[in-house]
Amino acid sequence: MSDTWWRGAAIYQVYLRSFADGNGDGIGDLAGLRAKLPYLAELGVDAIWLNPWYPSPMADGGYDVADYRAIEPSFGTLTEAEDYISEAHALGIRTIIDIVPNHGSDQQEWFVAALAAGPGSLERERFIFRPGRDGGLPPNDWQSIFNGPAWTQVDDGEWYLHLFAPEQPDFNWRNPEVVEEFHSILRFWLDRGVDGIRIDSAAVLFKDLDSVEESYTDHDEVHDVYRGWRRITDSYEGRFLVGEMWMPDQERFALYLRPDEMQTAFNFDFLSRPWDADELRASIDLTLTTHVPIGAPPTWVLSNHDVTRPVTKYGRPDTSFSHQDRKHGMATDPVLGERRARAAALLAMALPGGLYVYQGEELGLPEVENLPDELLQDPLWVRSGGTDRGRDGCRVPIPWSGQEPPFGFGSGTPWLPQPADWKNLTVESQHDDQNSMLTLYRNGLRIRRTELGDGTLTWLDADPGVLLFARDSGLKCITNLSPAPVDLPPHTDLLLTSNPLENGKLPTDTTAWVR
């Protein structure tokens, strides 16, 4: 693969706690991941993105980092991480790690020192501490992204800012110490062979505390941070940055992708669109017109560890579609959801640029919406007062084999329970089934690697409700979102379909690749 391998790569997201348990404690770990590397090589992915693997109290699933230069003990050791990186490289698989720059853990060494040092200290300048207002009120009325106040008061009366949970104090990015610390963290992992950096909550590092409005997204100062990060990654061969920014303004979004900043960013606009031909085409066009003129490859994402799984999302009535609606008991049609998820997978794979696949997506796993309340761990559940069930439903450990839980995940009891009916969704049960979701992903990723990836797209005329385009290689992708079957475009070879043809026609909610 070239130095710009990431431009058309298929990247598989591993939520380590839920991937494979190698030591039997019910928690996924590096030993489990290393044992499953042959599976990922056979699946046909080019890289693995790992959610945070650092020591953490797990107040937010590892996004509350206590030490950025070590490995969470329940996952393994730093030596095991280095061995994993080498073993993955030997199979042609790159590694992308998650860096969390906006906030750390309240148990991190710096924050513990800040609490001890008191008001006005240099230690507190690394975070955002402020005195409160009269009447015992916090410095302002900002609310946390996880619900509730964005400020917590400490024993000496000062308040610290946390855009997420109280256990996640925000760093002060106007402090040069913070800037240099993260430069050092980047070099630490790049020196160990990491190929890419995923930047969590990349747009929220700078805050205007004097603003009446909640002013913490997309301040111009943030671009200097990523120019510095880009200079570091460019000093290593074949490394790249990918940003997580949920931003509706595509012109502002594109600024993060300038030639001296990030190489790529997640395309949440595509993930957020309902199953509608006009909506999806508008998102594809918006993405291409945003990325292509500045030389940045698009990315295509159907799911991740924060959103409802596609089989569930696409099975909801179109009028109530949402990728983040986690209300308990919302009606879902699992047959419709699987059919659309299969079609969406081939559509996304056929688009030019990078592709991200979240673990279990290739198995057609649904959202687990009936987890017992007492087992929910996501801070969204508690901080919403039980109105938002949080993201645990898309983080349930994935099934590998067998007829009953834990389905080969490990010898212990998984940290979240798996549904009994997942016996039909295991890797073992799908591996040799030519009609399974797993086989569809394997075939799609294989053809994608040889004939698709980065490049251009040309739209072709099609009936209403139908998406039809050609890629550079001559492969054509057609997705039928209309209510009736449609004819395939002229072709010599039918390469792949998400569902069987009906009397030679492409059924509704089906994608085909032809040449």
Tell me whether the omega of the peptide bond preceding residue 406 falls within 30 degrees of 0, making it cis: yes
Burial of 413 (0-12, 13-18, 19+ CB in 10 A): middle
Catalytic residue among 67, 125, 200, 214: 200
Catalytic residue among 210, 251, 432, 461: 251
Distance, in Å, from the CA atom of 184 to the CA atom of 58, rounded to the nearest integer, reads 24
Ranges assigned E (strand) in 326-449: 354-358
Burial of 121 (0-12, 13-18, 19+ CB in 10 A): middle
Q: What SS3 state is found at 140?
A: coil
Q: What is the side-by-side strand order in the sheet with 129-130? A: 129-130, 159-161, 151-153
User: From the CB of residue 476, how many other CB atoms can be counted at a distance below 10 Å?
Assistant: 21
Q: How many helices (H) and strands (E) does the chain have?
A: 14, 16
Q: For residue 114, give Cα distances in angstroms to 70, 109, 246, 344, 479.
A: 21, 9, 31, 48, 56
Chain centroid to CA 383: how far? Answer: 22
In the chain the first and final C-alpha atoms are separated, in Å, by 25
Residue of 171, 16, 201, 204 lying closest to 105 (CA atoms): 171
Distance, in Å, from the CA atom of 13 to the CA atom of 5, rounded to the nearest integer, reads 17
Is residue 251 annotated as part of the catalytic site, yes or no? yes
Tell me the Cα Rg of the chain: 23
Answer for the pair 191, 183: CB distance below 8 angstroms, yes or no: no
Q: For residue 32, give Cα distances in angstroms to 19, 27, 98, 407, 478.
A: 7, 9, 19, 14, 38
Following DSSP, what letter does each residue of 152-177 receive, concatenated? EE-TTS-EEE-SS-TTSPBB-TTSHH
Is residue 3 annotated as part of the catalytic site, yes or no? no
User: From the CB of residue 367, how many other CB atoms can be counted at a distance below 10 Å?
Assistant: 26
Answer for the pair 300, 354: CB distance below 8 angstroms, yes or no: yes
Catalytic residue positions?
A: 200, 251
